[in-house]
Amino acid sequence: MATSGSTADIKGISTDIDLLRALCGAPAPTGFEAPAQEVLRRRLEGKAQAQADPLGNLWAEVPGEGAPHVVVTAHNDQIGLIVTYVDEHGFVFFDVVGGVDNQLLPGRHLVIHGPKGPVDAVVGRKPTHIIPKDERGKAPELHDQFMDIGASSREEALERIRVGDPVTFEAPFLALSGGRYGSPAFDNRAGVYVAFRALEHYRAQPAAAKLTALATVHEETTFMGAKAMARRLDADVIVVVDVDFASEDPSVDPKKLGGEVKLGCGPVIHRGAGGNLAITDYAIQLAADEGIPVQVKAMPGATQTDAEELMSSGRAATLSFSIPVRYMHSPLEVMQPDDAEAGALLAAALTRRLAKDWTPELFVPRA
């Protein structure tokens, strides 16, 4: 279903750029996910009931009269920083939330989400002229870096920010060439887009299976959202959607990355030691039958996503696929949103196909 601002770069796919832009514009590092969950609440209004738990997980469903219950899930937190200390001159110190590279911070524009609203901040950097030779080309240790909000004293700074406030990269949504975009939050708003667009596609053309779209929290630090939901969910099949490293830019090598992954070639289905082979091959065949582009990547072990936590409930067959992203965990990740739309079509088609094929033994491994 096309909306304003749609692109159609992969043949026959209409991507809702407005939804992805809205998700990426919500500053929501781990533990502070509410603004991103609010985007989903607004999107669901009048269409499906949003449900939530005290941790911040949010989900909605298209009920079905039969089986199975399919859950499509993605984490809605992003990496960020947190204010730890304000010195007597008003300079603001911080720690990382999730995997932030401290090399990427000096000289950067950050935004502190204070009690009265966003506060612009600059990460201070010594002029290159006076950096000793042996320190050149290296970022200072994280705890030696600081933000400057323009305040002259601790008191002045604390009028606008508090210890424990979240900090994010400035969040432009850059339209690049070739239907590609830049944002700091594609990990994992790309996945959240897949889950909630899948719900919309399935609602438009439902079958007997029940589909739940879930946006989890705390993935970048403790996987706590998925841990909590693994206990609560009564799923038969779980589809975990996250982002994966694209292998095509000059800084990476597909051999060292564990396989070739390209933007614009569809979601990346993980096949191997970290998952359930039966559902993986079922999904690959389904994609071929439906004409949905997918890529396959070997998974030699854990996916480093919510998948392991959700699998550990022991009740659901779990499929893991990811959306290709360049420069993951940097202030500007690059992706092709059509890949996410293809993922949404795949998850909706999987649920419809399972409504026909489902038996509790379908994905029990057999030789």
Residues that bind Zn ion (CB under 5 A): 187
Residue nearest Zn ion, CB atom distance: 187
- The residue written with tokens 């720690």 in the block is 95
Least distance (Å) from Zn ion to the CB of residue 142?
18
Least distance (Å) from Zn ion to the CB of residue 329?
6
Nearer to Zn ion, 99 or 115 (CB): 99
270 φ, ψ (degrees, to nearest 5): -85, 125
C-alpha span between 122 and 359 (Å, rounded): 57
Nearer to Zn ion, 165 or 187 (CB): 187
DSSP for 8-45 reads: --STT--B-HHHHHHHHHS--BTT--HHHHHHHHHHHT
Least distance (Å) from Zn ion to the CB of residue 92?
24
- List, in sequence order, every residue forming a beta bridge with 82; answer none if it has no partner: 95, 166
CA dihedral 148, 150, 152, 154 (to 10 degrees): -60
Nearer to Zn ion, 330 or 351 (CB): 330
Q: Specify the DSSP element, H or E, that contains 174.
A: strand 174-175
Nearer to Zn ion, 187 or 308 (CB): 187
Nearer to Zn ion, 101 or 357 (CB): 101
DSSP for 198-248 reads: HHHHHHHS--SSEEEEEEE--TTTT-HHHHHHHHH---SEEEEEEEEE---
Q: How many Å is the Cα radius of gyration of the chain? A: 21
Nearer to Zn ion, 7 or 322 (CB): 322
DSSP for 68-97 reads: -EEEEEEE--B-EEEEEEE-TTS-EEEEEE
Least distance (Å) from Zn ion to the CB of residue 331?
14
Least distance (Å) from Zn ion to the CB of residue 248?
20
Nearer to Zn ion, 16 or 187 (CB): 187
Least distance (Å) from Zn ion to the CB of residue 296?
21
Least distance (Å) from Zn ion to the CB of residue 140?
24
C-alpha span between 147 and 54 (Å, rounded): 32
